[in-house]
């Protein structure tokens, strides 16, 4: 009890401390737990799928870009070399 301004023997403090704890029935407790854990798992799956999708996209785009830029560089080098010999 955090109502520290109350006097000892206070009728309200005494009364509220007489109240017992309650809980939902066990089957409802389990149902709520199952629904929440399922919701958390669904969220994790969605996040993982999004992560995989991004990883897959990066998986082909990065090598393609590197290959393209490499080809451009090589073409330019060859053309300059040819220009020197002409």
Partner 1 sequence: MDREIELRLVARLTAGDPAAFEAIYEAYRPRLFGFLVRLSRRRDVAEDLLEETWLRLVTRATTLTADARLAPWLFTVARNLYLSWRRSRAVDSTRTSELDPAWPAPERGDSPFEAAARAELERRVEAALARLPLRDREVLLLVGVEGMTPSEAAGVYGLPAVTVRARLHRARERLAAEIRASRPESRAKAG
Rule CB under 8 A: which residues touch partner 1? 1-3, 6, 10-16, 18-25, 28-29, 31-33, 35-37, 39-41, 43-44, 47
Task: Compare residues 8 and 25 and give the one whose CB is closer to partner 1.
Answer: 25
Task: Compare residues 2 and 79 and give the one whose CB is closer to partner 1.
Answer: 2
Task: Compare residues 45 and 75 and give the one whose CB is closer to partner 1.
Answer: 45
Write down the least CB distance from residue 50 to partner 1, Å. 13
CB 25 within 8 A of CB 10: no
CA pair distance 63, 71, nearest whole angstrom: 12
Residue 65: Cβ-neighbour burial (10 angstroms; 0-12, 13-18, 19+): exposed
């Amino acid at each position: 009890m955090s109502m520290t301004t109350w006097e000892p023997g206070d009728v309200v403090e005494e009364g509220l401390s007489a109240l017992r704890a309650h809980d939902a029935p066990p089957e409802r407790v389990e149902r709520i737990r199952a629904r929440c854990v399922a919701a958390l798992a669904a969220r994790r799956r969605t996040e993982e799928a999004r992560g995989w999708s991004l990883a897959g996209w990066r998986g082909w785009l990065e090598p393609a870009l590197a290959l393209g830029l490499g080809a451009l560089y090589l073409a330019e080098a060859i053309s300059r070399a040819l220009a020197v010999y002409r």
